Amino acid sequence: MKLVRFLMKCANETVTIELKNGTIIHGTITSVSPQMNTALRTVKMTARGRDPVALDTINLRGSTIRYYILPDSLPLDTLLIDDAPKPKNKARKEVADKGGVRGGRGGPRGGRGGGRGGGGFRGGGGRGGGRGRGF
């Protein structure tokens, strides 16, 4: 299971987060996005070398987070169980039949021949792409 999926299950848990700039944030998680952006409520924020500030809510960009400090009472065994449905083989095969995972459409790439100037057996092997259908 990915770390982000685990954190998404930690809604309503009180955590401490340290940011990359040294700021310490203590609050209750309301949500975590797939980019690890984290929304907290009832927050106490302590910037490095400053006095603590109380806030109702705060949103943190995922890329600024250094680490989470989780409570000791968190039931890790149950939260780490991967309960996301796995795609069946048939579903994966259907995706591949429709052109693969990325896009689809378009003819052969690489290999021999095909495309502009692809060097079929009749001319068109250099730059410029030959003339028309070039069989």
How is the chain split into domains, by residue range?
3-79
Q: Please count the other Cβ atoms lying within 10 Å of the Cβ belonging to residue 51.
A: 6
| CATH code of the region 3-79 | 2.30.30.100
Cα 135 to Cα 20, 65, 126, 128, 130, distances in angstroms: 60, 58, 15, 16, 10
Residue % of the chain over a pLDDT of 70: 64
The residue whose two tokens read 């944030």 is 25
The encoded tokens of residue 38 equal 């984290």
| DSSP of 19-58 | ETTS-EEEEEEEEE-TT--EEEEEEEEE-TTS--EEEEEE
pLDDT digits 0-9 by tens, 61-116: 999 999 999 999 888 878 888 776 777 776 555 655 665 566 666 666 665 555 56
For the full predicted model, state whether its pTM sits above 0.85: no
Query: What does the pLDDT read at residue 95?
Result: 58
